[in-house]
Structure 1
Amino acid sequence: MLVELHVRDFAIIDEVVLRLEPGLNVLTGETGAGKSLLVDAVAVLVGGRADVEMIRAGAERARIEGLFQVNEATAALLAPILDEYGLREEGATSELVLSREIRQGGRHVARVNGRLVPLHVLKEIGQVLVDIHGQTEHLSLLRAREQLELLDRYAGVGELRAALAERVARWRAVRREIEQLRQDEREKARRMDLLRFQIEEIEAARLREGEEEALLQERNRLANAEQLAHLADAVYRALYEGEDEAPSALDRLSEAARALQALARIDPLFQPYLEAMEGLSAQVEDLARAVRDYRERIEFNPRRLVQIEERLDLIRRLQRKYGDTVAEILAYARRARQELETLTHAEERLAALEEEAERLLREIGELGEALSRRRQEAAEQLAREVEAQLADLRMAGARFEVALERTPDEEGAYANGARWAFDATGLDRVTFLIAPNVGEGLRPLARIASGGETSRLMLALKVALARADPVPTLIFDEIDQGIGGRVGAVVGEKLWRLARHHQVLCVTHLPQLAGFGDAHFKVEKQVAGERTVARVQRLEGEARVAELAQMLGGTGRAAVQSAREILEYVARLKAGEEARVPSRRR
């Protein structure tokens, strides 16, 4: 519910802080005092239209802030929105703060819990929190989709709806796969031919991972065979054979070993070095033999070099088509084989999917038909309740009906020997229809005329749907327009009863209605420093009696007595009701 509303520099309002109660809150005051401005401020707060004309003259900006207390049911509806936009508070509390600034120059700012958000996010959240009668963009009952949701909540068909939605989601997934498989046959044939060619081309190459690196090394050796042989020979001679009169490294090491051996015989200190020298000589001999063997294996084979170049050229051509490395080429071949296998067996898979789609369409039809029956039963009961409420509101001739319609579809779900269009909500389109006066035809609720008649229709619906409607705060702007005092008392009682399920804020001119308020606020214009400002004060006790008397048309003893009688009547009625049925105010 809306706990506190803070409005600053909005139209003629310089600053107002309005602290509301959980039940029925009424706003009264002279025409033009600014009562509807507070409703307009709430409308702007929850994402309604705003422009610079709303800024108080001489101010740079208008600011509206609302503190909402959120119960578990509302929190559950808000959770997906808050999570999607990262607005969930750490250690989330039961409070939510919305704010809106209208700035000169047309730049407006919206915040949720102090964080900047796009306007559409504020509007999404606002639609969950507040429903304003008189501001069509926030009047949820006029939205066809909301009418369906309300009827389903009224009928208590949540589990049935969920089961149907699960089948519809599965059917859509199956249809997507079918469409993918049903691509143009010629295109599929071309694709299969291409895949076969690519697979054959890669398989014919008989590639091996690591082959390119080995070929590059071998090509390098063949291309430099003469130089490699020369260098290897020089190394071998220097280590083992020697050149001309110069001894080899091995000869010099042998000579050094003999001298070291003589040293060790005289001084044992050199014995360890002698062992190291022997090991070094063995290593040099091993190295010389390895170089000799390498030299002997070097082949001058131009033919093999040509073969390697051709093989490398083949690998490069395949790389340009299928991947940068041999490993990537082989991976491409594996994927191509899998795709070819899928296309080859597509007809079998397609037949299985079409069979599953048909089964799902029949299940959707069965669930949709069951859902329609439950909806129809609920629709008839709702119509009776709404018409009873309208009769109490002096609209005894009004008729209300909930129309359930279906659209034939040759590819739709099966039900009652026909096929129907459907979505995740079922087979039905739901429309609330109303005939306000005797002799008039039923028309969609969204097309009825505005005024007191509309207000009473909406009130009747709200009362009947109170247990199904999740919006916690309902605002009625001058719901008493065009109705008299006797009906006003009935409207007041219904609003008070509605306030057992919702927080209700009502702007009214009727004292009979205002008397039912759990909290009564008076809005009046005052002149302060040559400026007109709006002020709001909560009325209690004699101040409230005086306001009701003034609304009755006077301040004399008779008007005051009538005002007291209104409050006494309401107090007796409330006491009697509260004694019978415990309050369920939220």
Structure 2
Amino acid sequence: MLCELSIKNFAIIDDLKIRFSEGLTILSGETGAGKSIIINAINLLLGSRASSRLIRKGAEFAELEALFDITAESQAFRLMKETGYDPKDGLLIKRIIASNDRHRIYINGSIATIQILTSITENLVSISGQHAHQGLLREDNHLLILDQYGKLMSLREHVKTCFQDIQPLIRKLKVLEDSQKHQTEQTDLIEFQKQEILSAAIKDGEDDALENEKSRLKHSEFLYQTVNTSIETLYRGDGSVIEKISEIKKMIDRAGEIDATLALHAASLDDVVYRIEDISDALRHYIEDIQMDTGRLDDVESRLDMLNKLKRKYGGKQGTLQDVINQYNDICIRLEEFENISESIEETKQDLMTCHKRLSELAGALSEKRKQAALGLSKKIEKELSALEMKDTLFQVDFDSIQVEKHVSPFLQTNNQLLTDTGLDVARFMIAPNVGEEIKHLAAIASGGELSRVVLALKSILAENDDVGTVIFDEVDAGIGGGVAEVLGQKMSRLARFHQIICITHLPQIAKFGHNHYKISKQVKNGRTIALIHPLDKKERVEEIARMLGGVEITNTTLAHAREILRTAD
């Protein structure tokens, strides 16, 4: 429910505040006083497009604010929680329209986007105007309206859930069938890759060992000469290191007979001799292992070339032998999957057939119930319109299905009809307001008065099931009067049992049913025109009804007539 509305620097409104209540609220006033400006402000607070041209002349920005009371069961409450806004104290929307077009939106004091605003306010307010009746005239809403009327929303939700369940299965089947389609070609290629890696008999780290061996083989002569010279110098040759150290050792031993402290150094020289002998022995073993076989070098280089080729082909970015081994393991897994692909396709098809059968049955049942509900809705609307002086009106719901295109999965169609998340049907409200007229789409009604009555009839019937908290009628009385206006007012009054109703009207026959009545007027102040709003007390309301009755001036007769009109509404 809309509780409060504040408008500043907007069109001819300087600073205006309105506190709304439950029931039927009437807004009346002379033409051009600013009634429709209030509706424009509400539309902006619901998310319509803003323009700096709406700012009052001389101001830098316009400021609009609305406070809504929302229930914990409402869609707005749920969406506020989901988007991070605390809904426990209601919904406060603020919109700043700036002259530099840097407009801002706030929800409960926090900045928000237009997308979040429109999603939260989607079912808060329904505005029916003289020239546009919003959702009720949009054909894509007719099916939803019919389902709400027929209490079919639960079945509709089951259809949607089943439709969502079938989607991943369809995608899975396509992937499997595409894989199977190219399976022979892929299998031959992958099997070749497997054998190529397998026949190489790779060992992790083998390439590093071969690189070391290659280096030794390429420099074998140099290594042999170097090591052999080292052995000669250390151990074998005349005047070798070990020979000289041995001589030094003998000299120290003789000196040690004179000075015992030198014995320790003699022992250290023994250690040096032993160490040189060990090194020389190790070098002799090394030189025995040195190969100068050019055939072996060719074998090593050939093996390395093959390993490097495999690393480039299968090793990825790092290009290691371990990556090649990992790729081999992946190839084996893929080949195993290929072997099981036919079985996977059959299993997926079975799951799809089960889900498709369920979806088809639910959609078929929903379609039948819709047709039954359509008959009841048509009769009720014709009855409502008859009371609104549209006695010969013919109303019906036309059904159609969506054409199935070639690329659509067979699991998303049944009996050449497309299955969607709302079932099988497309529904259109059709009407022939007068005898002999061709029945046509609801939105094609030329008469504003007829259109207003159809909208009101629909809203009256759907009132108990409609989630919208506030319904605004913006001069829907255009083109009607007299007894029809009286009935229209009665229906608005009854509709106010289920919704907060705000009605802008010029007709006293409608205004008399208001539980609250505001008069909107304009005056010139300091050379500027401003709009004012004033809640009417009992006496003022009589005067406003008298003004609405017409005449150049209000007389005792028109006042008496106004009192009588108000009395008949009680």
TM-score of the superposition, structure 1-length normalised? 0.81
User: Displacement, 1:478?
Assistant: 0.6
Q: Specify the SS of the correspondent of 2:123.
A: helix
Listed one character per residue, the Cα deviations across residues 286-333 of structure 1 (whole Å, up to 9, x for unaligned) are: 777666655554444443333222222222222222222222223333
Secondary structure of the corresponding residue to residue 128 of structure 1: coil
**RMSD of aligned C-alpha atoms?**
4.1
Does structure 1 conserve the Cα–Cα contact (< 8 Å) formed by 2:130 and 2:476? no
Matched, 1:53 2:56: no
Change over 3 Å in CA distance of 1:222–1:375 after alignment to 2: same
Which residue of the partner structure matches residue 399 of structure 1? 394
Amino acid at match of 2:68: F
* Residues in 2 aligned to 1:28 and 1:114: alpha-carbon distance in whole angstroms: 32
1:174-573 aligned within 5 A: 174-183=169-178, 188-225=183-220, 244=239, 246-247=241-242, 293-294=285-286, 296-322=288-314, 323=316, 324-343=319-338, 345-407=340-402, 409=404, 411=410, 418-553=415-550, 555-570=554-569, 572=570
- Percent same amino acid at aligned positions? 36
Read off the aligned partner of 1:517 and give its amino acid letter.
Answer: G
Letter in 2 for 1:560: L
Secondary structure at 1:373 match in 2: helix
Deviation of 1:466 after TM superposition, in Å, equals 1.4
Secondary structure of the residue aligned to 2:465 is coil
Task: Find the aligned partners of 2:61 and 2:512 in 1 and give their Cα distance.
Answer: 36
- How many angstroms does 1:120 deviate by? 4.5
The question of whether the paired residues in 2 share the 8 Å contact of 1:240 and 1:250 is answered with no
* 1:250 to partner: Cα distance: 9.8
Pick closer, same or farther for the CA change 1:223–1:24 going to 2, 3 Å: farther
Q: For structure 2, which runs of at least 5 residues remain unmatched after alignment?
A: none
Deviation at 1:32, TM superposition (A): 1.0
**For 1:358 and 1:306, how far apart are their aligned partners in 2?**
63
Partner residue in 2 for 1:583: none
Amino acid at match of 2:558: A
Partner of 2:84: 88
| Cross-structure match for 2:125 | 130
Deviations, residues 494-552 of structure 1 (Å, cap 9, x unaligned) = 22322232222211112232232232221101101101111112223322232223223
Alpha-carbon distance between aligned partners in 2 of 1:98 and 1:447, rounded to the nearest angstrom: 35
- The answer to whether the Cα contact below 8 Å between 1:7 and 1:17 also exists between their aligned partners in 2 is yes
- Distance change (3 Å), C-alpha of 1:294 and 1:51: same
Deviation at 1:26, TM superposition (A): 1.6
Per-residue CA deviation, residues 169-196 of structure 1 (Å, 9 max, x unaligned), is 3433333333334449885543333223
SS of match in other structure, 1:9? strand
Instruction: Determine which of 136, 139, 148 is the counterpart of 1:153.
Output: 148
In 1, the alpha carbon distance for the partners of 2:243 and 2:456 equals 116
* Cα offsets for 1:36-88 (capped at 9, x unmatched): 11111222232324434323223333332322232223336752x874xxx42
1:39 aligns with 2:72: no
Rounded Cα–Cα distance in structure 2 between residues aligned with 1:188 and 1:148: 45
Deviations 1:468-488 (A, max 9, x none): 222222211012212224333
Q: Matches of 2:455 and 2:248 in 1, distance apart?
A: 113
Matched length:
560
How far, CA to CA, are the matches of 1:135 and 1:125 in structure 2?
26
Change (3 A) 1:234 1:381: farther
Query: SS state of the match for residue 439, structure 1?
Result: coil
Relative to 1, partners in 2 of residues 1:297 and 1:432: Cα closer, same or farther, differing over 3 Å?
same
Q: CA separation in 2, counterparts of 1:280 and 1:470?
A: 101
Aligned-partner Cα distance in 1 for 2:514–2:286: 108
One-letter amino acid matched to 1:65: E
Q: What is the distance in 2 between the residues matched to 1:369 and 1:110? A: 44
Structure 1 residue runs without a partner (length 5+): 573-586
CA distance in 2, matches of 1:464, 1:258: 127
Contact 1:34 1:523 in 2 (8 A): yes
- 1:352: how far off? 4.3
Change (3 A) 1:245 1:291: closer
